[in-house]
């Protein structure tokens, strides 16, 4: 009888992050339609992302308690099942209140999956392969923008409810792949999130840097489409094509940075933070034509891909033995980043237009680099050395 081969260590985490991102993005192109259908304003419908983000952040910070009861594989499975069921409930929601409750559950499930998926990429791979596996895993989120968004748009032409079949299908596919992993025992000895944060100032500094970076990037993604539409008068359909095309740049950005991210992630974070700060300010202030803005957006996406990889690698390095706790902090920072970035970016846009928006986002990116200024290097065992 042939022996069943285990899947590549990046496959399951990649599919898990793809499913989580599908759950987050599916309502983005359908907000006006669902708002009309459920009798609310588009602005009110936009609050769904804030609600799911806050719920995701709250759940992410409690994940060490979950993994103590379930183990890592079963924790990811629970999150995927939550995404599938909550997305199905969203499709069937008879009112906006029911939809909001279902989207809160999507946010919670997504936070579990993202945290567990990134931790699994590190734990299920050999030490020398960690950066490569982590790089492939993190591509699951931008892959959802590139592959799932067009499907969502096509289905949404028929009904916004039908579009919610995409995260359901993605989560079920990831669950099927997950069955190929053996069950893992619960981990009662794992350090809690609060203990990891309190135990080392480097971990706390990394967490602050991740929150600032995700706030800056969340604000960039929130308003990039509006910048192009209002600056150049292009249609929503063309905006979607442009953003999807720009998202492709995430792949080379992440893959080209993987070796440096394993060897010295924190110095890399300083360099990338400075570059992103300068270029996002230019993105807001300098808009000579659509081609320039599209090209600059693609560069920002590539740099963000590299920074996401380096930030994850740094978290795993500064919190040895606390991989789930560190990635739960990262997931909380990701969720809160969209809330903070959207709020600060919206305020800046209303006061000073896109030039002030770019400046504010630049300050956030620069602030994200500050906790890493005194880092020196990572040893071959991935333990970080600081003065």
- Residue 181 CA to residue 288 CA, distance in Å, equals 52
Residues in the chain, pLDDT under 50:
1-4, 376-387
In eight-state DSSP terms, residue 183 is P
129-132: long-range pairs with CB below 8 Å, 24+:
129/9, 130/262, 130/313, 130/316, 130/382, 131/258, 131/259, 131/261, 131/262, 131/309, 131/313, 132/10, 132/258
Q: What are the strands, taking DSSP E only, across the chain? A: 377-378, 384-385
Beta bridge partners of 377: 385
User: What is the pLDDT, as a whole number, of residue 166?
Assistant: 93
Domains of the chain: 8-189 (1.20.1250.20), 191-387 (1.20.1250.20)
For the stretch 25-43, pLDDT in tens is 887 777 778 888 999 886 6
* pLDDT of 56: 82
Cα gap 231→252, rounded to integer Å:
28
What confidence score (pLDDT) does residue 69 get?
Answer: 75
Q: What is the pLDDT of residue 237?
A: 66
For CA atoms 364, 369, 371, 373, the dihedral sign is negative
Indicate the pTM of the whole model: 0.76
Per-residue pLDDT tens over the stretch 340-357: 888 898 888 889 999 999
- Residues 173 and 20: their CA atoms lie apart, in Å, by 12
- Determine the pLDDT at residue 36: 85
DSSP string, 337-366: HHHHHHHHHHHHHHHHHHHHHHHHHHHHHH
Q: How far apart are the first and last CA of the chain?
A: 56
Task: Give the model's pLDDT for residue 198.
Answer: 56
């Amino acid at each position: 009888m042939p022996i069943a081969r285990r899947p590549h260590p990046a496959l399951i985490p990649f599919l898990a992050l793809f499913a989580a991102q599908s759950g987050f993005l599916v309502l983005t192109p359908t907000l006006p339609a669902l708002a009309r259908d459920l009798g609310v304003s588009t602005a009110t419908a936009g609050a769904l992302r804030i609600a799911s983000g806050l719920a995701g952040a709250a759940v992410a910070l409690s994940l060490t308690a979950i993994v103590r009861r379930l183990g890592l594989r079963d924790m990811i499975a629970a999150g995927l099942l939550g995404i599938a069921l909550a997305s199905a409930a969203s499709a069937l929601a008879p009112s906006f209140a029911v939809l909001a409750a279902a989207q809160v559950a999507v946010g919670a499930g997504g936070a579990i999956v993202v945290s567990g998926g990134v931790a699994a990429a590190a734990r299920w791979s050999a030490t020398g392969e960690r950066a490569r596996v982590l790089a492939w895993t993190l591509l699951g989120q931008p892959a959802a923008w590139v592959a799932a968004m067009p499907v969502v748009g096509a289905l949404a032409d028929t009904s916004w409810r039908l579009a919610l079949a995409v995260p359901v299908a993605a989560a079920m596919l990831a669950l099927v792949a997950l069955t190929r992993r053996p069950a893992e025992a619960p981990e009662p000895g794992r350090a809690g999130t609060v203990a990891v944060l309190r135990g080392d100032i480097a971990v706390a500094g990394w967490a602050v840097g991740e929150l600032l970076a995700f706030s800056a990037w969340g604000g960039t993604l929130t308003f990039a489409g509006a910048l192009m539409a209002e600056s150049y008068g292009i249609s929503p359909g063309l905006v979607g094509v442009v953003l999807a095309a720009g998202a492709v740049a995430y792949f080379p950005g992440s893959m080209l940075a993987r070796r440096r991210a394993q060897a010295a992630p924190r110095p890399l974070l300083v360099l990338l933070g400075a570059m992103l700060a300068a270029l996002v300010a230019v993105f807001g202030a300098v808009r000579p034509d659509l081609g320039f803005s599209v090209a600059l957006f693609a560069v920002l996406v590539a740099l963000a891909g590299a920074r996401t990889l380096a930030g994850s690698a740094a978290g795993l390095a500064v919190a040895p033995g606390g991989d789930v706790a560190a990635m739960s902090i990262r997931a909380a920072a990701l969720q809160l980043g969209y809330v903070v970035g959207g709020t600060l970016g919206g305020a800046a846009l209303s006061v000073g237009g896109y030039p002030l928006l770019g400046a504010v986002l630049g300050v956030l990116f620069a602030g994200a680099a500050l906790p890493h200024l005194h880092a020196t290097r990572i040893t071959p065992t991935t333990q970080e050395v600081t003065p």
